[in-house]
Every structure is written in C-alpha cells, then in structure tokens.
C-alpha cells in the first residue's frame, strides 16, 4: 500500500481569490502539506504573477512553508510554450522564484503543434536549469494532448539525462480529451508504465468544458468510483508527489473535505 507520507495534497493560487495570498494562508491554516504558485494573472488585474512577490515576500513564503512543512510547486503560465519567443526569460524568472521560495517542482504544459522532437529540443535548457537547481520538472497534459503524446515524449526523454523530469497528470484535462471524454481512467490506462507521473492536478468536469470543479462536487458527487479507481492506479504506479486542487470554491472549506476524502481512498 502507498505510504500516505509520500503523498502531499493542497491547493493553488486562483485569480478568483483576492487578495492573492488568501489561498496560501488557507493552506497554512488548515494543515495542508502542498501548495502551488500559478502565474495566472488576468489582463484586468485579478490573479497572481511572480512579479507581485518581492524579495521580502519570497523570504516570508519560504519561512512559512518550511515552518509548516508545506511543499511548494511553481506553475508557469498556461500559454507559455517553450518554442515561443521570450519563453526562456519567462522560465528563468519562474525558476528563480522557485529557488527563492524553496519550491521543489516547476510545471509546464505540453505543446505538440510544432512536433514532439522540436518540443523536446526546447526542453533541454529547462532540463539543465532544473537539474542544477535540484528541482523536478513536470510536463502537464492539456485538453488536446493525449496518452500517445506522453508515451512518445518520455520514450525520447529516456535518451537524455532527465531522471528528474516527469508528467503532471491533470485528471480534469484527461476527462475532456476527445479520445477519453468522460473516462479519465481510460486516459491513465493508456499511459505507458514507463511514463513517470510525479505531479497531479485534481479537478472535475462533466466532459463538456474545463470547469475545474472541486473534487466530489462534479460526477463523483453521486458516484465516487472514478476517484477510487484513480487512487488505486496511482498506488499501483507508486505515485509519490503533490496532488494540487486547482480551484478556489465557494466556500473554500470544500477543499478541506475534498482533500480528506481523496486521501482516504489512498489509505484503503
């Protein structure tokens, strides 16, 4: 059985939460053991960006996290494609923030528009930066990237010194992907056992839109077999890492219930 101590579960910054520190303080005050900083600031000013945290803020985040035993992850902007102009500067700034606050993981999205070989080439500098910083690098599935993409990418990655690189499994995105719509477990089952899942984003939807519903408030509200099956599969894969709930519900106390119930499935 998976040792619960190897699994940390918490929440994330959310553009709907004001001030932006609110979700972080919520994690600290409710005994969560993981938190993710996501640069998702909107054009109208809501949300958070690494530029909002000065040196003093970063020092305070690091100290509070160390004191409370809170593991941290940093999520690069969702639109940040390693093949796009200016990405290197964006990633370096997020890596710098990760080091400043003591984060152990940086997350980016998988983009396949220019081919997986070109994407892999663009990863090499990121792999080098994170390896030197002793930070893991997780690559997340979007609503349009499938298991075959990850099987191929990690087959190619095995030719590089990149043992600290793994997949961020987003179960909500897997539930939207056209080949596994409303069946995210089938998405997981199509992933090769050689694809290392090192980070998880947890939210629900009804297969129509990426609605980021809190766990146990979507399809699993009436039938939790999907989430039970998810936990069983992660146990079989010996998952060890952070599970991040990507929402700020009303009331936010729903996150407490979701965390406790999902962790119970990992104990079964």
For residue 158, count CB atoms less than 10 angstroms from its CB and return exposed for 0-12, middle for 13-18, buried for 19 or more: exposed
Give the three-state DSSP class for 181: coil
8 Å CB contact between 170 and 180: no
* Average pLDDT of span 219-237: 97
Q: What average pLDDT score do residues 126-136 get?
A: 97
Longest Cα separation, the chain: 47
How many residues are present in the chain? 268
Q: What's the whole-model pTM score?
A: 0.96
* CATH 3.20.20.150 is held by the domain 4-267: yes
pLDDT 10s digits, 157-196: 999 999 999 999 999 999 999 999 999 999 999 999 999 9
CA terminus-to-terminus distance, the chain: 8
At 147 the three-state DSSP class reads: helix
Read off the pLDDT of each residue in 74-91 and give the average, rounded to a whole number: 95
Share of the chain above pLDDT 90, in %: 91
**Which pLDDT score is estimated for 46?**
85
* Per-residue pLDDT tens over the stretch 35-77: 999 998 888 888 899 999 999 999 999 999 999 999 999 999 9
pLDDT, position 71: 98
Measured distance CA(59)–CA(54) in Å, rounded: 9
**How does the average pLDDT of the chain come out, rounded?**
95
3: pLDDT strictly greater than 80: no
- Asked whether the predicted pLDDT for residue 2 surpasses 60, the reply is no
């Amino acid at each position: 059985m998976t040792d619960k101590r190897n699994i940390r579960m918490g929440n994330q910054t959310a553009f709907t939460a004001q001030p932006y520190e609110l979700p972080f303080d919520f994690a600290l005050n409710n005994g969560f053991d993981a938190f993710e900083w996501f640069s998702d600031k909107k054009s109208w000013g809501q949300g958070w960006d690494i530029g909002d945290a000065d040196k003093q803020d970063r020092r305070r985040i690091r100290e509070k996290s160390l004191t409370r035993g809170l593991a941290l992850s940093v999520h690069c902007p969702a639109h940040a494609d390693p093949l796009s102009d200016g990405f290197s500067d964006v990633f370096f700034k997020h890596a710098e923030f990760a080091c400043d606050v003591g984060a152990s993981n940086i997350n980016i999205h998988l983009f396949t528009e220019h081919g997986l070989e070109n994407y892999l080439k663009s990863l090499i500098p990121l792999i080098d930066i994170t390896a030197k910083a002793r930070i893991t690098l997780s690559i997340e599935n979007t609503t349009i990237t499938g298991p075959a993409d990850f099987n191929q990418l990690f087959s190619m990655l095995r030719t590089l010194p990149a043992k600290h690189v793994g997949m961020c499994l987003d179960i909500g995105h897997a539930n939207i992907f056209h080949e596994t719509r409303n069946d995210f477990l089938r998405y997981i089952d199509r992933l090769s056992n050689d694809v290392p899942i090192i980070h998880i984003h947890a939210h629900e939807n009804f297969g129509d839109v990426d609605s980021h519903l809190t766990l146990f408030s979507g399809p699993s509200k009436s039938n939790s077999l999907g989430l039970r099956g998810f936990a069983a599969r992660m146990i079989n894969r010996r998952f060890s890492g952070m599970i991040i709930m990507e929402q700020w519900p009303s009331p936010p106390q729903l996150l407490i219930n979701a965390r406790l119930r999902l962790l119970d499935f990992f104990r079964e």
